[in-house]
A = this chain, B = another copy of it.
Amino acid sequence: MTVTVIAYHRAMGRWEPDARGRLAKAAMGLYAEQGFEQTTVAEIAARAGLTERTFFRHFADKREVLFYGTEMLRDLLTRAVADAPPSATALDAVGAAFEAACATMQENPERVRLRDAIVAANADLRERELIKLAALGAAVAGALRDRGIPDPAASLAAETGVAVFKIAFARWVSEPGQPDLPGAFRESMAELKGVLADRAPA
């Protein structure tokens, strides 16, 4: 539909708000306004002043645009695991890493909550979220291995961290009054330890 291509593409010598960012913003807006399924990629591209084809040059698919910050989060997690004190156990390091991640997310609570609402409303998006979380878990496991923790223990600790994070996040989202995501994570982590200490001796 011949979108009036307003080409403020280059203003001075630099690039204006880059295409990727415009597409992501347009997508978020439309998903929030009309829902994910009701939004076509053509609409997103039009709002960004670009073509459908260009959208797919920047994002692998219609869902991926919502999982923009995952790489950043992954780097943050692996760095935090690496930076944990040598005395820390695997679970300690994992806990510290996810706490740091929680703190980062908390810097933009509205955005995080909006994104989560969009994702929660659609099954395909929930699937994508799960695989992203799994990827984060794998990255954390790798970072633990780099600390010298052998593989079964590393994977176990990482998966545990992800599981606790999921629960804490869900809890935080469900309580609009609760602003403390790192705190929610800490609590859930403590509860996990309680559950496991609770087990029967047999």
Q: How large is the interface on A (under 10, 10 to 19, 20 to 34, 35 or more residues)?
A: 35 or more
A123 touches B (CB below 8 Å):
yes
A191 touches B (CB below 8 Å):
yes
A192 CA to B159 CA in the complex, in Å?
Answer: 11
Partner of A156, one of B88, B126, B155, B163: B163
A127 touches B (CB below 8 Å):
yes
A11 touches B (CB below 8 Å):
no
As for how many copies of this chain the complex holds, the number is 2
Partner of A128, one of B92, B127, B188: B127
A114 touches B (CB below 8 Å):
no
A199 CA to B84 CA in the complex, in Å?
Answer: 14
B159 touches A167 (CB 8 A): yes
A92 CA to B201 CA in the complex, in Å?
Answer: 10
User: A170-202 toward B: CB 8 Å interface, digit per residue (1/0)?
Assistant: 000000000000000000100111111011101
